[in-house]
Structure 1
Amino acid sequence: MDVLKEILVTIKAYETIIIHRHQRPDPDAIGSQVGLAEILRKSYPEKQIYQAGGPVEGLEFLATMDEVSDDLYKEALVIVTDTANSPRISDERYKMGKQLIKIDHHPNDDPYGDLIWVNTEASSCSEIIVDFYHHNQAELQMSDEAARLLYAGIVGDTGRFLYPATTPHTLEVAAELMTYDFKTADLNRELEQIPMSVAKLAGYVYQNIEVDNNGAAKVILPQTLLDEYGIVDSETAAIVSLPGVIDEVLAWAIFVQQPEGYYRVRLRSKGPVINELAKKHHGGGHPLASGANAKNKAEVDVIYSEIQELCERFIK
Structure 2
Amino acid sequence: MWTIGFIGLGVMGAPMADNLVKAGFDVAGHTRRAGGTDRLVAAGGRHADSIADAVRGADVVITMLPDSPDVESVLLGPEGAIRHAAPGTLIIDMSTVAPRTAQRVATAAGAASMQALDAPVSGGERGAIEAVLSIMVGGAAVAFERARPVFEALGTTVVHVGPAGAGQLVKAANQLVVGGTIELVAEAIVLLEASGVDPAPALRVLGGGLAGSTVLDRKGDAMLNRRFEPGFRVDLHHKDLGIVLDAARAAKVAMPVGELVAQLVEAVRDAGYGDLDHGVLLRGVEQLSGRNR
Shorter-chain TM-score tier: 0.3 to 0.5
Q: TM-score, normalised by structure 2?
A: 0.35
Structure having the higher helix fraction is: 2
- Structure 1 length-normalised TM: 0.33
